[in-house]
Structure 1
Amino acid sequence: MRLESNATIQIQKPVEEVFEGIVNPEKMTKYFISESNGKLETGKDLIWKFPEFDDKFPIKEIKLETNRSISFVWDPETVVIITLEKLPDNSTIVRVNENGKELNEDNLKWALENSGGWANFLACLKAYLEYGIQLRKGAFDFMRKK
């Protein structure tokens, strides 16, 4: 049995704006990461850094379907798939699925933590795109190594 981490939210913005908000590092650094060495593009490998960690995270196997889906690997055991669904009112449903880990105690903890993490990602994305608010700023300072 493989474990999955899932999160979903509706954003009151057109799918094109939501897609750009996810693939463009100038926007992502306003709500999720602190650094990226480029834009998410099919076939490209990137390095992401988060404000609260010293580590850098390689982002590999990137695949984009413009305004529909984004997938990548940042944990060799899992694939992240972000899907976008345009609604008639010009809002967008964003779904995040990360899957691939075998069922065991450590991976069950991972699934629970990552579901919360992806829900946080979506809430931060929504706040930034709809209202220009940076929810993540200072939210995880307590996790920094001292």
Structure 2
Amino acid sequence: MEVNFRVSGRIAKPVEDVFEALADPEKLSQFFTTGGAKGRMEAGKTVMWDFHDFPGAFPVYVIEVVPNEKIVFEWAAYEGDSGKIGAKHGEADYRTTVTFLFKPTDDGRTLVEIIEEGWRETDGALRGSYLNCEGWTGMLCAMKIWLEHGINLREGFYK
């Protein structure tokens, strides 16, 4: 069984604005990375994302960027509570691949699709994929409300 998922949503903003909300660390920090983001999403770069609800900044390895179309990156696989000594809570010893696709719609909105894949075929990996699927769905909701209405949906949500 291949462990992966795909979530999507539509945002009532042009594709350029939606793409920049992920690519620009200052914008990403306004609605998603509650502890801040450092580094622009550019192919071959390693950027840092930090979350108050998941302590400690961690690296995001940017693999591919096609402006206004696609951002692909890898990060440490999350398998729930792995129990590994020396690992961050739930962090496994391999990476998953996350692909963001940005597609303009006929009515001026942007369809955002997020695909995450590459988990091992274990119970922990399956659990981790469910948790990340939930996380990316929340991220899409936060992105939508921030871009369309200027509200940080995550502010105070995890405290």
Structure 2 Cα separation of the partners of residues 104 and 44 of structure 1: 30
Bigger drift between 51-60 and 62-71 goes to 51-60
Q: Distance in 1 between matches of 2:14 and 2:125?
A: 35
Corresponding residue of 1:89? 107
CA RMSD, Structure 1 to Structure 2 (Å): 1.2
The match for 2:52 is 51
Question: What is the deviation of 1:101?
Answer: 0.8
Q: CA deviation at 1:7?
A: 1.3
Structure 1: any 5+ residue segments left out of the alignment? Answer: 142-146
Q: Deviations over 1:85-140 (max 9, x none)?
A: 11111100000011011222111111111111000000000000000010011111
Percent identical residues? 33
Aligned length: 141
Q: Which residue of the partner structure matches residue 103 of structure 1?
A: 121
Structure 2 CA distance for aligned equivalents of residues 13 and 123 of structure 1: 14
Shift of 1:37: 2.2
Which one of the candidate residues 133, 136, 144 is aligned to 1:115? 133
Q: Deviations over 1:10-29 (max 9, x none)?
A: 00100000001111111111
Instruction: Give the TM-score normalised by the residue count of structure 1.
Output: 0.91
Q: Contact 1:46/1:59 (CA < 8 Å) preserved in 2? A: yes
Runs of 4+ displaced beyond 2 Å: 51-54
1:64 and 1:71 in contact (8 A); partners too: yes
The corresponding residue for 1:128 is 146
Gaps spanning 5+ residues in structure 2: where?
77-93
